[in-house]
Amino acid sequence: MNIRIISRLDIKRPNLVKGVQLEGLRPLGLPEKFAEFYYNEGADELFYQDVVASLYGQNALYELISKTSKNIFIPLTVGGGIRKIEEISKILRAGADKVSINSAAFSNPNLISKACKIFGSSTIAASIEVIKSSNGKYYAFTENGRNPTNQEVLEWSKKLEKMGVGEIILTSVDNEGLGIGFDIELVKKVIENVNLPVVIHGGAGNKKDILDLIRNTKVSGVAIASMFHYSYLRKLKKSIKSKNDNFNLSFTKFEDCSIKKLKKYLIKNRVKCKL
């Protein structure tokens, strides 16, 4: 099977935002502009995460989802603040292909089971935000890594599988936004623990990080944010002279790597992916 290269876009109201370890979010620009660029670059999927939805108790991306679905023709997953069947239905009607659920899976496990029966497992993904504790175990968190659940990740991933989810989206909060590579140990443990496609997010700093992940695990897809965002901003900076802080970020820890460059590199190294 082809490895899926997924562009993840964290969104706070009208802005695409990016932080480190899911904190310190700063605006980078309009998400629709980035999404269109990634679509034209050859992204296999897009993942919209409303990072303040849980705080406000609702997902606010309906208009953006509708705009995206009219102009971009690749699968779109949407996450953030989804607590009701009606919200899932509204997001799917707006044009999303899948929803990703985290907090509500803990507070209302029946929502997952019911949603899978109504919409199909392939439409329902579960997000797990993971932090490694001092005892070496991995635990699931919610609210952008702020709220501990005391649920060990391997146990939780098994429970999610039994609930019927079609996919797990795994975020290493410890590595997210740092460009230090992926937590291979975590990825292996989860993939070996469930019979589900697993998408990894958190840690990509260069092409080799992604190649190492694919070679050492049976990952289904890689969701990338910082590396692609900063590559796009470099491209913009060449054509836009601006003193705005958004265009004066420190790019040193991330390789200048577009989706096209990444896919060509992976294919050269005998990884199956769609150009």
Q: Looking at the annotation, which residues are catalytic?
A: 10, 129
Question: 4, 45 in Cβ contact below 8 A?
Answer: yes
Question: Counting beta carbons within 10 angstroms of the beta carbon of residue 151, is it exposed (0 to 12), middle (13 to 18) or buried (19 or more)?
Answer: middle
Q: How many CA atoms lie within 13 A of 21 on its CB side?
A: 9
| Rounded to 5°, angle at Cα 26 from 127 and 66 | 55
Q: How many CA atoms lie within 13 A of 132 on its CB side?
A: 11
Amino acid (1-letter code) at residue 255: E
Token representation of residue 188: 């292996």
Determine how many CB atoms are found less than 10 A away from the CB of residue 178: 17
Its sign, for the CA torsion 47, 52, 54, 56, is negative
Under the phi-then-psi rule, with left for phi > 0, alpha for psi from -120 to 50, and beta for the rest, what region is 129? Answer: beta
